[in-house]
Each structure stands twice: as structure tokens, then as C-alpha cells.
Structure 1
């Protein structure tokens, strides 16, 4: 058997609820009307009994138990249409008169006689002589303040309520029509609900929302979705972290953007621009942001989605990529130099000149050890030493003399920048110097490097290349600016500028005495910065 779907359950629940409500309403209505009708009939019977008992001649006839006189007097009484019978009994509960002529001389049944005898009126619902259910009213008869009998008035219960049922039937028809209308409305509502819920159950929607949030949280970039009322619809973990939002997501979702974002202009739905890779600042952090609108089925703008990548993170990623590219190039140069040396050794061994081969190996080893010793003495940064060694190999391969100033000195523990940042700066400057010399075709192929850590952290790189034109000095640090046709260039100097600027440093570009460009970088040392802040 096919299980009942979620929407079928909703329809059944609505129909069942409507049926229960209508049934309860009809039952309560019937009981209330029935109660009012019974009270009305009791009041009618009681008023007629009192009217009969108030006749002075009738009182006297009852007192004398004169049945003939009672009958004559009752002939003048015209009862209302609803009255079924009238009977009069004496003090011994024996009928003296009955409007239908039944039970005369017989005792009354189901009578609270003592209560009536004490002067109280009594109404009740009980069966009569013909086993009909009757509404009865009994009133005591007094003559000269003496109890002398009882006047009873009876009304047929079923007949009286039968008239009520006819009136009640119309309300039942109206209720059934309302129930039918509600059933039709429920069916339409369930169809509408199914369409709005895309034929999915709440469990499926909940799973989809969790899946959506899970996917968003795996995205490295921060993502913020905003509706047309400038309320936050969705925000992922990366955006919460990068925007320094400490409240829980449940509290953030649905909040106005001004509650958690400042400034809000970029996030405001009224901003009509769709933007790619836009540098902006929010909550004190610098971001590279993208902005795209959302549209509903009618093509109306329903919100905006903004992706954020923290600018520092983007720069770090570019540094890593740049560093990896440099490592690849440096490794290629080392391998090339090693292959050349290995070829020489192999040739000497082939010619059986073993002594020359041994001496060549010793000389190369001594040279490498000397370079490592001298560089390690100047630079107490192992990764930076490795970078310089690779650049020496690359320079040798290109036929360039790379001179490292012997007065250079760096201690890694006190540098104002990290080793990776130092490697990025020096590696890119040396690469640019090598390329400048190659493109200039100068006979003097020299590059000089000076790095010193004192009151300022100083980096100087100069070359004998073609230099930099005055009109280009202000442009060379712009992102993607390059003289080369290769689209992968134009990042190195921009990275250097970002690192130096974030460290409160300065870059000076000048003409080198070698004929090319001289890059001088000055970065305040950590200790000096702390003293100035104090």
C-alpha cells in the first residue's frame, strides 16, 4: 500500500478538524436550543396551570370534590395549541377531571406530592398513562388557605421538540454547505502550499537548507546573501570569521545589515551596480569583493549575493604562488648547473683524467661550502640562504655576476617582516634585475644585493640593466603593470609594495651607478616601532 504523502496528511487533518468543529458546533447549538425550548414549554405549562388554579369557582369545586362542576367550569377553558391535557386531582391524588376523559378516579403517578402539598409548583419530564414522554407542570389548589387539590398541565415532549427539529434542520444544511466549502478551500490551499514548497516535505526542505549551509561553509570565500529589505538571508562561516561577527548565525540571519556591517553602502540593495573584484573595507578589514543580484520568477530583483575574500589572504596566496614559481625557476637553474658540472666530471673520467676530475670536484665543493659559510654568517635565516644560493646558480647560468655585499647582516628573530615576506621581496627584485640585464644586452652584467638589519631594515638591489623611465616609476607598483606580453607578469612589484606598505616601510626607486635601476627599501625595525608607539 502506498504511504500517505505529507500534503495528503495535511488535507485529511484539515478536513477532520473542520468536521469536528462543525459537529461540535451543531451538537452544542442543538443542546442549547433544546434546553431553551424545554424551559419555554415548562414555563407555558406552568403558567396555564397557575391560570386554571387561580379560578375561584374552580377552587371551590375542587374543595367540594364536585367533578360535575369542575367539568362545567373547564368547558369554558380554551387551552393553547401545544397543551396536550389538563387534569385536576384531590388531596388523595385521585383524578377528579381529565381533559381527555382518561384515568378519572385513578391515582396520579410519579408525583412529588409532599412538595406540592407545601405550596410549591413542580415541573417535570416523565411518561404519562399512554407511555408518552410528557412535560408536566403541577400547581397546588388552595381554598380558604387550605390545600384541596392539584392542577396538572401536560405537553407532549416529542411533538414539541419535533417542531424544533424542523427549525434546526435549516441550520444543519447551512453547516454542511460550510463544511463543503471548507473542504474545497482546504484542497486549494494544499495545492498552493505544495506549489510554494516545490512539492517538498518539511524534512526535505530542512535537509536542503542544511546541505546549502554546509556547501556555503565549505567555500573559502565569505558569502553574504541579502534580501530586498536589506536583511541578511544567509551568511557562511568564512564571512562570519572575516567580518569579525561574534553572534550566532541564528541571530544574524534575518537581522538588518546595519546591525552587523559597517559601512553598508556596498551591501545595500539600492546600490544598482554589479561588481567584480572590487577593493572595499568593512568592519575594519580590507576585502576583494564581488556583487551579483538575485531575481525571482517574474524577473524582479529579490536580493543580492556578495562574496568576500580578505585582501591580506589574497596577497598571501599570491606570495605563495610567486614563491613557488621562483622555487621552480631556482630549482631548474640548480639542476642545470649540476648537470653541467656532472657532464664535466663525466668527460674527465672518460678521458681517464682522474686527478683533474677529483680536483674539479674538490674545487666545486670548496666553492659551494665557502658560499654557504659566508651566506650563513651574514644571514641567520636558512630559507633566505637557500634562496640566495639558488639565485647565485641562476645568475651563473645566465652569465650574470650576483654580488652579495659582505656587510649584509640579518637576524631572523628580530626582523620586522617574516622570512617568507623577505624571500618574496628579494626574490622578485633579483628576478626583475636578471630580466632587465637580459633585455638590455649590456656588456656589464652585474647585480648587487645588500640586506642589513639596524634601526631600519634595509634591502637594496641594483643592476646594470636598462633602468626605469621617470614616467614609469609611479606605475611599476600597480597591479598587472608590466612591459612583458606574458599575462602572468605584473604581480611581483605589487606584492612587494603591499608588504612594505603594511609594514610602514618606504620604497625608493633611483638610477644605479651600474647604469640600471636601484631599488632601496626601508622598513622600521620592530624595536624602533615599539619605542615610537610608546
Structure 2
């Protein structure tokens, strides 16, 4: 049973395979182009060939008729033939003349008759004296016309030239009929039009060959892809461009915008209904340097610029095809996100350093206690333990009594430990208080603000003269009394030079040596603006700088009503 089922499945697959190949063959772009162009060209050539050959056949037939009429007119004008009509036996004179002319002109017959239509000449002598056949003599005999007609005579269907014979007084005395058989005319037409049909056939073959070459060229130009594959790739590309987090802007060689994704529209503050495609890049981004890339063909990486009030990092590359610059593409990402990521990494690194410092500090104290115990200095060991315990307990008690948010308490405790490790005296004002717990956003904002300000203050305090009285000092004050949150950090460092006061909050500006600086204060300033506050700088009572931060109280949680 299973064997028969396997045979049946194999047979179905065998039958489907050729059908699938035929389906793919029918869908082949190259075959479609070749058939479309070839059939179109063949139809045009056949139609044109049929028309031209038909016209040629008409012309040949008309020429044969005119030739017959010309021969008839020549015969009717022969004096001997006209004179013979007055003889007793006209046929004796007219028959030899007519037969000689027939042989010389190639006509099928040259018939001369009298006014009653009786023959005086004929290719068949036995038909002399018999009436002419065809019934088309009246126009010549009655009206004196010369004309061409087609009729069936005694020898068959022919094209005939007919003309009357006039005597010296202009009277009609007879008729001349010169005929060419229609079958011979058809043979002549076929002989003259056969070359045209051969040329049409040759052009059709060449047309299909050209269509094949064109289809191969088009297939190569589109990288061997089928139309449905190109359509799918276009849709995938559009989806990718619109979903990525970086802004993308592309221009052609004339500097006109050819592509802009949604993120770029957000960076440029363009409404979605605003159509920017085809517009010059300078009209949309006046400070763009894509035109420089188009002119020089140079790549530009990690360039900083502003799009409105948004700092971005830009990469610009030219689009080169066959050695020619066809356009340029710019990708840009928000520098604020980079700053925030850097700040997050800095905070993580700072926490690691803090934990390392704590571990180092407590390790030293444990070694000290262990040494005192080994020296049998129990009282000194207990005094050291009580001293450390009282200091830690005092810090914990102060933070637990003055700071309601545990996350901020942990941040401050870590900063105290870090400052002690650096040799900086960090003081928290006794009047400080944070009575209301914070929202998740408030925790993140205050951790960033307090952390950056304290780090900068400790660094500044360490820059003072080491021999000065009192050593490096940093003082922190915070409160949530009133309608706003207030944070004040001051140090006894060298302060901020007057020429740097305006630039101190600008992103990328720093008085510290080294790279990747100028992030902390810029981030604090932005957070203050985003949360309804501000940051100010003034001279500290300790002799250094004093930074004051004001934030909106909405960062605190609303008090929960007591249940009744």
C-alpha cells in the first residue's frame, strides 16, 4: 500500500515539474520581452509588406493595361491597316501586320475588327471572320473612346486595351483590341513581389534576433532579476528605509532630492504631506554639504551638524556607477541619543568604579581589623569597627530621614563613597530634604542631574591647589519644598572662566582634556528644559563654581489619599 502511494506521489511530482518549468518559462522577463518586441515588429513588417506588395501588384496591372492600350493605339494608327479596311479582303492585309506586332510586343492577341465586331485578325486563323467576344466594344465603336478593360474573351480572361480605328474623314471604321492574359499578369506580379516578401521574412528574422539581444541586455541591466523580484525588492527596500532609526536623504547628480524616509522627515520637521521629492537639497536643508560630495566625490563620515535645533551626526557618500557620480546619500542619527547612551555607559562605569572602591575600602578595613586582632589589640579593633559603623549609620540615618526615594538614597550613598575614595570631602547640607517619592522619570532625571553635577564638582575640587587649607570640598543641597525641586552643587575648585560661561552648557564643549567630553552638563541642561526647569551658574561660597538646578515638581509622585 505504501509503495503504491509513493509511486503516485512521484508521478504527481513528475507531472507537476514540467508544468512548473513551463510556468517559469512563460513568466521569464527575457522571453516576454523577446516575444513582445519580435511579434510587434513582425506584425508591422507583415502589414507594411502586404500593403506595398498590393500596391505593386496594382501598379503592374495598371502598367500592363496601359501597355496594351499603347499597342492598340499604335496598331490603329498604321496607314496600311486603315487602308486595308477598304479592300475586298481586309484580313489578308491586317492579319500579318497584327501577328507581327503581337510577337514583337509579347501580347497574347492583337485583334482587329470592323464596326460589326467581326475579326480581321486573330492568333488562331480559324477564328477570323467570327464575332469578337467580351461585350466591351461599345465604348470604342459607338463613342470613339480608348480605354482599358478586363473581360473574358475566346482565349480566356484578359486585360485589354481597346481603341477605335478612324478613316481619313474621322469616321469609325473598326476596332483594335490588344490583350494580355490575367494569369500571365499574375505571374509577373508574383515574380516582382516575391523579392519583397523575402525581404520581409529576412527583416522578421533580424527583428527577432534584435529582440533577443535587447532582452539579454535588459536582463543584464536589471541584474538578472525578474519583474516580480524587482517589485518585491522595491517593497522590501521601502519598508526597510521607512523602519530604520537613522534618517536617510538621497539626491541625484543635479542635487534634487530623490529619497527621504520618515526618520529624516522627523529630523527636518517636515509634515508627512509635504512633498520634497524633486526639490533642490539646498531648499530643504540649507546647510547640507551633499553638493560638495557631488562635486568632489569624497566620502564624509561622522560629521556633526544641526538640523534646526537638533544635533546630528552625518555620514555622506557618493553614488558612483561606471566611474561617474550619479548622486549622493546622507545618513544621520541623533547626537542626543549618542549622548544619552554615552551618559548611560558613563553611569554604569561610574557604578562599577564605586563598587570597586567600596570593595577596596572595606577590604583594607577588614585587613586592618584582622591585623589588630592578631596583635591582640581587641579594644582598638572594636573602636575601629564602632567608628566605621557609626559613620555608615550616620549616613544611612540621614539619608533615610531626609530622602524618601530609595533610588536617590542609593545614588547619594554611592557618591559619598566615591568622593571619599577620591579624597574629596562631600558634604550634604543638613537642611536638605526630599520628602516626596519620585516617579520613574523623576528617578532617572535626578540620578542623571545629581550624578553629573557631583562628578564635575569632585573633578573641579581636585584641580585646586593640593596644599590649600581644608582640601577638596563639595557641598550638596536639595529640597522639594514649594512648587519646584531645587538642587545646588558647589565646590572649592578653580571655578569657570568668564569666557567659558556662555559655552559651558553647549554639547561638545569641555574644559577637561581628552576626547568624548562636553556631555554631562549639556545633558543636564537639556533635561532641565524638557522638565520645566533651568540650570544656572554662579560663584560658590567655597570659592569655586555653584550650579543651581530647578525642576518641575511633576517629577514627584502625587500623595495617595488615606483610606477611610
Q: Is TM (by shorter chain) over 0.5? A: yes
C-alpha contact (below 8 Å) 1:403/1:446 kept by paired residues: no
2: CA distance, partners of 1:321 / 1:31: 88
- Residue 200 of structure 1, CA deviation: 0.8
Deviation of the 1:91 alpha carbon: 4.3
The number of equivalent residue pairs is 479
Change over 3 Å in CA distance of 1:16–1:266 after alignment to 2:
closer
TM-score of the aligned structures, taking structure 1 as reference length: 0.69
Tell me how large the CA RMSD over aligned residues is.
5.2
The 3 A distance-change label for structure 1 pair 209 and 517 is same
Task: Give the drift of 1:42.
Answer: 1.0
Determine if the alignment matches structure 1 residue 492 to structure 2 residue 520: yes
Match of 2:428 among 390, 402, 405: 402
Paired residue secondary structure (2:175) = strand
1:198 to partner: Cα distance: 0.9
Match for residue 137 of structure 1 among 133, 136, 161: 161
* Change in 2 beyond 3 A, CA 1:386/1:141: farther
* Equivalent of 1:479 in 502, 508, 511: 508
Is 1:108 aligned with 2:132?
yes
Q: CA deviation at 1:217?
A: 1.3
* Structure 2 unaligned spans of 5+: 1-17, 357-393, 421-425, 553-564
Among 534, 537, 555, the alignment partner of 1:508 is: 537
Gaps of 5+ in 1: 333-362, 376-384, 413-417, 525-534
Rounded Cα–Cα distance in structure 2 between residues aligned with 1:329 and 1:112: 125
Deviation at 1:490, TM superposition (A): 5.8
Q: Report the CA distance shift for 1:285/1:480 in structure 2 as closer, same or farther (over 3 A).
A: closer
1:263–1:283 contact (8 Å) kept in structure 2: no
Query: 2:458 & 2:343 partners in 1: Cα distance?
Result: 20
- Aligned residue for 1:95, secondary structure, equals coil
The 1-side partners of 2:257 and 2:88 are apart by 96
Task: Give the match for residue 39 of structure 1.
Answer: 62
Matched, 1:96 2:147: no
> 1:313-335: per-residue Cα shift (whole Å, max 9, x none)?
65566677778999999999xxx
Residue 371 of structure 1, aligned match among 393, 402, 406 = 402
Q: For the Cα contact (< 8 Å) 2:41–2:204, is it kept in 1?
A: yes
Alignment equivalent of 1:204, drawn from 229, 241, 266:
229
Partner Cα distance (1:365, 1:312) in 2? 36
Matched, 1:429 2:458: no
CA distance in 2, matches of 1:85, 1:216: 87
Distance across 2 between alignment mates of 1:207 and 1:71: 93
CA offsets, 1:16-67, max 9 Å, x none?
33333333333222211111111111112122223333557755755x7x67
**Do 1:448 and 1:463's aligned partners in 2 also have CA atoms closer than 8 Å?**
no
* Whole-angstrom distance in 2 between the partners of 1:259 and 1:470: 40
Alpha-carbon spacing, 1:519–1:240, altered in 2? closer, same or farther (3 Å): closer
3-state DSSP class of the match of 1:98? coil
Query: What is the deviation of 1:436?
Result: 6.8
Report the Cα distance in structure 1 between the residues aligned to 2:346 and 2:222, rounded to whole angstroms.
49
What do residues 238-268 of structure 1 show as CA deviations (whole Å, max 9, x unaligned)? 113322445779x645554345332343444
1:72 to partner: Cα distance? 0.7
In 1: Cα distance, 2:431 partner to 2:455 partner: 18
Q: SS of 1:125's equivalent?
A: strand
Specify whether residues 56 and 429 from structure 1 end up closer, same or farther in structure 2 by C-alpha distance, changes over 3 A only.
same
Trace 1:205-284 onto structure 2 (pairs within 5 A). Answer: 205-246=230-271, 252-253=276-277, 255-268=279-292, 269-271=294-296, 273-282=298-307
Distance 1:462 1:365, change over 3 A: closer
Aligned to 2:374: none
Pick the aligned partner of 1:460 from 474, 488, 502: 488
Write the deviation string for residues 476-507 of structure 1: whole angstroms up to 9, x where unpaired: 7663858699x987632232355679999674
Task: Give 1:188's match in structure 2, choosing from 213, 230, 238.
Answer: 213
Give distance in 1, aligned partners of 2:302 and 2:431.
41
Q: Identify the residue that residue 72 of structure 1 maps to in structure 2.
A: 93
Q: Single out whichever of 174-183 and 203-212 deviates more from structure 2.
A: 174-183
SS in 1 for 2:537: strand
- Contact preservation (8 Å) 2:160, 2:177: yes
- Alignment of 1:288 onto 2:330: no
